[in-house]
Amino acid sequence: MSSSSTHGLAIPGVLRATGFVTDDDEAGRPRRVTLYQFESDGDLETYLAGQPKKCGKR
């Protein structure tokens, strides 16, 4: 894996694909949802708790 694209938060650690499930979206079309397992030195909740909160008031 020489190239990778990251969507969303950049979290120090490894997201490993563990498999996938098939599901239907809101319109009833089949879609494939990939399941990931998070591996890092710390856990995700602790990492997210240390991030600044964003207020999304519109």
> In the chain, where are the structural domains located?
14-49
> Looking at this protein, which amino acid is placed at residue 37?
Q
Distances from the Cα of 32 to the Cα of 35, 49, 55, angstroms: 10, 30, 31
Residues 40 and 35: their CA atoms lie apart, in Å, by 17
Q: Report pLDDT for 26.
A: 83
Residue type at 18 in one-letter notation: T
Which helix or strand (DSSP H or E) is residue 38 part of? strand 30-39
Summarised one tens digit per residue, pLDDT across range 18-37 is 787 888 878 888 888 877 77
- What is the pTM (predicted TM-score) of this model? 0.30
Q: Which two tokens stand for residue 39?
A: 């591996």
Looking at the chain, the whole-number percentage of residues with pLDDT higher than 70 is 41
